[in-house]
């Protein structure tokens, strides 16, 4: 076990780092453009690399120090499209004040375009080190890092719930676009311009044998858009086939408000909140579980979507203007 020096601690908490990576092939869903989910995967990987550079990789933190590395918040803006074979320069700048109890990192992704660097993605990631009680006799972290170690990532105040949850273990694996069969969803959504579904969180959305991780919520955020537009008659494939419209994201935020445990029933609700200049719309994402008959919000966030024209090169994509059909669908009319 290596002991961190004062220089290494200063480097972790105060000094920038950089690494060059390429996006995951998984993210090339439409043409060679990378979607927002895999953009955020790159940002998380860069922060993990920042920790590894001082000898505190996720494995060392877990097995030696008995803490889990957890990204608990992202606030990401997408400025230009990343593509599959881009060499992406990721720069991590700590933004940690002496009174902070979360580690905050500003992360930027830069690519070369026309022989010059261009900022593609900027974000702020929030990180906590969650104590893991399954590790016997862990070695203590340096005192300077103790303020970032927690027993729980977040704890939300439960709210009263009038509905009685339906105990349908098998059915909870299926996605739905309405609230006809689940009274809890019906109560959560009410008259909002929203869709939602219940599902049982699988192990491959989790980490450290227990909890849903940030990438799991990002995957849900992506799926929510897919289910929402399909339920409104403007599915992704239809817009691609008929109009050549490619869905794009300009901003996404997500923050843990509690913890979601593996195989809990998670209620995902996607609510359209605003439409801007008939070119962008912002939706809120809320995630809930039911514990002891009460509703607990485990995460919340937002995502801003639009469309680009497929015919133009990815480096020159132009935003599409929503027509009446799309506007009615987005408004739930």
Rounded CA gap, 333 and 331, in Å? 6
Of 45, 18, 12, 53, the C-alpha closest to 142 is 12
The predicted structure's pLDDT at residue 12: 97
Determine the average pLDDT of the residues in 91-103.
Answer: 96
| Beta carbons within 8 Å of 137's beta carbon, 6+ residues apart | none
Per-residue pLDDT reduced to its tens digit, 102-121: 999 999 999 999 999 999 99
Q: Burial code of 76-100, b = ≥16 C-beta within 10 A, e = fewer?
A: bbbebbbbeebebbbbbbbebeeee
Strand partners, 129: 69, 149
Secondary structure string (H, E, C) spanning 162-180: CCCCCCCCCHHHCCCCCCC
The predicted structure's pLDDT at residue 3: 74
Rounded CA gap, 36 and 105, in Å? 18
The predicted structure's pLDDT at residue 179: 53
Rounded CA gap, 188 and 165, in Å? 12
**Residue 30: burial class (beta carbons within 10 Å; 0-12, 13-18, 19+):** middle
Count of C-beta atoms within a 10 Å radius of residue 140: 10
The answer to whether residue 47 scores a pLDDT higher than 50 is yes
Rounded CA gap, 267 and 322, in Å? 29
Rounded CA gap, 123 and 105, in Å? 8
Determine the average pLDDT of the residues in 116-140.
Answer: 96
Per-residue pLDDT reduced to its tens digit, 166-187: 876 444 444 544 555 789 999 9
The predicted structure's pLDDT at residue 313: 56
Q: Percent of the chain at pLDDT above 90?
A: 86
Per-residue pLDDT reduced to its tens digit, 288-320: 999 999 999 999 999 999 999 876 555 566 889
All structural domains of the chain? 1-151 (3.10.129.10), 154-332 (3.10.129.10)
Judge contact between 185 and 267, C-beta under 8 A: yes
The predicted structure's pLDDT at residue 315: 55
The predicted structure's pLDDT at residue 205: 98
Q: What is the mean pLDDT of the chain?
A: 92
The predicted structure's pLDDT at residue 176: 47
The predicted structure's pLDDT at residue 9: 94
The predicted structure's pLDDT at residue 4: 85
Q: Which helix (H) or strand (E) holds 274?
A: strand 265-276
The predicted structure's pLDDT at residue 312: 57
Determine the average pLDDT of the residues in 153-168.
Answer: 91
Rounded CA gap, 305 and 146, in Å? 39
The predicted structure's pLDDT at residue 163: 92
Per-residue pLDDT reduced to its tens digit, 222-258: 999 999 999 999 999 999 999 999 999 999 999 999 9
Kindly compute the dihedral angle of the four CA atoms of residues 175, 176, 182, 185, in this order, to the nearest 10 degrees: 90
């Amino acid at each position: 076990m290596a002991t961190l020096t004062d220089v290494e601690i200063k480097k972790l908490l105060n000094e920038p780092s950089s690494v060059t990576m390429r996006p995951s092939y998984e993210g090339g869903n439409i043409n060679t453009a990378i979607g927002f989910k895999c953009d955020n995967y790159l940002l998380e990987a860069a922060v993990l690399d920042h920790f590894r550079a001082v000898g505190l990789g996720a494995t060392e933190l877990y097995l030696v120090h008995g803490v889990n590395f957890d990204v608990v918040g992202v606030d990401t803006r997408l400025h230009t499209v990343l593509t599959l074979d881009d060499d992406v320069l990721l720069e991590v700048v700590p933004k940690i004040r002496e009174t902070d109890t979360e580690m905050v990192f500003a992360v930027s992704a830069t690519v070369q375009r026309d022989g010059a660097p261009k900022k593609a993605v900027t974000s702020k990631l929030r990180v906590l080190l969650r104590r893991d009680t399954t590790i016997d006799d862990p070695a203590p972290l340096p005192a300077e890092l103790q303020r970032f170690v927690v027993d729980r990532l977040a704890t939300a105040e439960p709210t009263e719930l009038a509905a009685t949850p339906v105990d349908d273990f098998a059915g909870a694996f299926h996605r739905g676009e309405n609230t006809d069969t689940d009274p809890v969803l019906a109560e959560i959504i009410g008259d909002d311009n929203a869709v939602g579904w219940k599902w049982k969180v699988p192990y491959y959305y989790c980490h450290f044998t227990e909890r849903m991780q940030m990438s799991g919520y990002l995957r849900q955020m992506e799926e929510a858009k897919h289910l929402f537009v399909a339920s409104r008659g403007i599915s992704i494939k239809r817009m691609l086939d008929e109009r050549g419209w490619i869905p794009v994201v300009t901003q996404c935020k997500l923050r843990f408000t509690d913890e979601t445990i593996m195989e809990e029933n998670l209620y995902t609700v996607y609510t359209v909140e605003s439409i801007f200049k008939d070119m962008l719309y912002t939706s809120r994402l809320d995630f809930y579980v039911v514990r002891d008959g009460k509703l607990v919000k485990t995460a919340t966030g937002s995502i801003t979507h639009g469309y680009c024209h497929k015919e133009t090169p990815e480096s020159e994509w132009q935003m599409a203007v929503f027509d009446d059909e799309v506007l009615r669908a987005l408004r739930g009319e």
